[in-house]
Amino acid sequence: MEEILIEDYNYPLPDERIAKYPLTERDQSKLLVYRDGQVKEDKFCRVGEYLSAESLLIYNNTRVIQARLEFHKNNTTPSCQTLPNATQSTGARIEIFCLEPMVPHDYQLALGSTKCCTWKCMIGNAKKWKSGALSLPVQLPSGETIILFAEKGEQTGNTFAVHFSWSPTAQRSNSVAVQQCNGLNISFAEILDAVGELPIPPYLNRKTEESDKTTYQTVYSRIKGSVAAPTAGLHFTDKVLSDLRQRGIQTAEVTLHVGAGTFQPVKTADANQHTMHTEIIAVPRDTIATLISNLGHIVAVGTTSMRTLESLYFLGIQLYTTLPNTTLPYTTLSVSQFAPYTSEYTLSTRDSLQAIVDYLDNTGQDVLHAETQIMIKPGYTFRVVDQLITNFHQPKSTLLLLVSAFVGGDWHTIYDYALAHDFRFLSYGDSSILFRRNPAFTL
């Protein structure tokens, strides 16, 4: 595999160019328009003028959860029968950052659990939490107070399995992980809403504020699970969506729950040595059928939608070649990091997507659930997406590699213009609409 030097995807980004807050009116952000090597500037509220009436706009409907929990390690070790008053938290601060559910593995089941659940987490100050359960009082909107317990499990890399359970009292058995979980009819999602903190990007260098609970969500977010927003969608307003409908432009949804790995820079000299994070996607059957009918006019809102849509081609390849007549759902469908580069794929996009529709019909499913680790980098052949709406990304990031691949390596033209014309960068910054430059694949 040809070496990709990540230093070639570096550029100077002064801190003052990073937007710390969004504009008061989302759709008044700047819009950079890139087509055939040419760049011009507009406002995002007029993005519909750059889409044809045949366009199908695909956006990510994921919603950011308040995934950061702050516990304190008590100075005294609690007895195995009763925890001390949880409000007397005088010990070390322990931050638990919920990344993705482990038991149950499904986001909606884990967030909807009224008993207990286990999540893969990053733990701040983990060395101070050697053993024992942590407790946190949670006051619900109803005025009721419950106790949330957390117990640290197995470590994998820089993450830990953390078991959560909750109780109306501080009574617990010897181990939270093995205790009988008696439901309170209070979901884990409600607990996070009550006491969790929205995890805004670390490069903003500020604490989460109350306004972020609104501004760091897209207007169409509805499926809880992300720990970071699909930020290209932050520019959309109800007015912009109404304008698109009036122009006859169709929209459809996918779900990719954005993980913390989206903020991790590439630290290897050769980008091919970087390990991509795995994310869970869900795509309705109707969305896939609509894609088939609109191939050649697909617009991805954000890199998360892009990664989801391009992953579909390789999922379809798997189903086309290995499960043509199955009537049982696959346990796990997944796209590995370098799957796009391991073979010369000749199946058309239409046939690949149709294989997914046939699989869902044969197995009686309405939604395709899968995992993707796809890495879109220079040399990638795009099978589904024709236009990309996206923000301006960090230097030496996998997202910048994706942009470069989409515009045939001409990312400098875009970023040089943005830097020279006072565009605002990163999550709360301005936007762009990019037209693909690399050759079209067989649809």
pLDDT tens per residue across span 390-436? 999 999 999 999 999 999 999 999 999 999 999 999 999 999 999 99
Distance CA 428, CA 22 (A): 5
Provide the pLDDT confidence category of residue 102 given band limits of 50, 70 and 90.
very high
Beta-bridge partners for 150: 134, 164
Sign for the CA dihedral angle at 358, 341, 310, 274 comes to: positive
Work out the mean pLDDT of the chain and round it to a whole number: 90
Provide the pLDDT confidence category of residue 101 given band limits of 50, 70 and 90.
very high
Give residues with Cβ within 8 angstroms of 31, minimum separation 6.
41, 42, 43, 44, 46, 47, 430, 431, 432, 433
DSSP 137-165: EEE-TTS-EEEEEEEEEEEETTEEEEEEE
Distance CA 315, CA 318 (A): 5
Helix axes 302-322, 285-293, angle to 10 degrees: 90
CA triple 390-443-361, angle to 5 deg: 95
pLDDT, position 260: 76
Using an 8 Å Cβ cutoff, are 197 and 224 in contact?
A: no
Both tokens of residue 85? 């008053």
Average pLDDT (235-244) is: 97
Provide the pLDDT confidence category of residue 160 given band limits of 50, 70 and 90.
very high
Sign for the CA dihedral angle at 270, 275, 280, 285 comes to: positive
pLDDT, position 322: 79
Residue 237 one-letter amino acid: T
CA triple 163-164-165, angle to 5 deg: 130
What 3-state DSSP class applies to 432?
A: strand
Distance CA 382, CA 47 (A): 22
Give yes or no for residue 173 having a pLDDT over 90: no
Using an 8 Å Cβ cutoff, are 4 and 272 in contact?
A: yes
Residue 45: count of CB within 10 angstroms of its CB: 19
Cis before 104? omega within 30: yes
Give yes or no for residue 261 having a pLDDT over 90: no
Top pLDDT among 283 and 173 is at 283
Give yes or no for residue 7 having a pLDDT over 70: yes
Using an 8 Å Cβ cutoff, are 198 and 216 in contact?
A: yes
Average pLDDT (106-127) is: 93
Q: To the nearest whole percent, how much of the chain has pLDDT over 70?
A: 91
Provide the pLDDT confidence category of residue 372 given band limits of 50, 70 and 90.
very high
Give yes or no for residue 61 having a pLDDT over 80: yes
pLDDT, position 325: 63
Both tokens of residue 390? 């996206």
Using an 8 Å Cβ cutoff, are 227 and 423 in contact?
A: no
Residue 8: count of CB within 10 angstroms of its CB: 14
* Helices vs strands, H then E, count in the chain: 9, 18
